[in-house]
Chain A
Amino acid sequence: KQEVTQIPAALSVPEGENLVLNCSFTDSAIYNLQWFRQDPGKGLTSLLLIQSSQREQTSGRLNASLDKSSGRSTLYIAASQPGDSATYLCAVNTGFQKLVFGTGTRLLVSP
């Protein structure tokens, strides 16, 4: 059974810092990995999707990497801003769009 873990569970940083969020999964047989952000009481916003054949994807200040063989992905956020405060979730696609979500990292960026 695929299990997805995110470390740390919570992170508090001052504005301007670069930071890394970690995601690990137990079964490397995945189709893709997707990073989402979720604001309190809201739905999920897709940030980046990395296909199983890719090593990384970039969008603005965000960069996600994937090492499928070791079961790890990282989300790098450059020059963090207070508006980045949210819960970040990774999800692995185990086949036919069946996503298994990680436990999430709650990020707080203070001004």
Chain B
Amino acid sequence: DTEVTQTPKHLVMGMTNKKSLKCEQHMGHRAMYWYKQKAKKPPELMFVYSYEKLSINESVPSRFSPECPNSSLLNLHLHALQPEDSALYLCASSQDRSRGLNSPLHFGNGTRLTVT
């Protein structure tokens, strides 16, 4: 069982919908990440939060809006998505980003998103 929990497991949404993906970890990690993975491709970094502050935004379109309400939770708010945004969205966490350069990332099982 993964120590990073993502909900929902599957999500189908229309291009005009607003939805949110949720991620939770209770390992005391202070760095949390969103990755996007298209079929048969490696994961691509979207956002990094460190101590609840956004530290990296990999030029992600504004229709994706991350939020980190506290050290255990990470959300990804979705609005006006396009069909090409359909992918597996993975959340990950790790120990403190500045001290823990060598700490491994722990991934959740992802949310399979389909945009119709």
Tell me the A residues contacting B by CB distance below 8 Å.
Answer: 31-32, 34, 36, 41-46, 49, 51, 89, 91, 93, 95-99, 101-104
Contact = CB atoms under 8 A, between A and B. Distances in A.
Interface of B: 2, 4, 6, 31, 33, 42-45, 48, 55-56, 88, 90, 92, 94, 97-98, 100-110, 112
A102 B55 CA distance: 23
Contacts of A34: 104-105
A93 B44 CA distance: 13
Nearest to B4: A43
B52 to A, nearest CB: 15
B56 A43 contact: no
Contacts of B110: 41-43
A49 B104 contact: yes
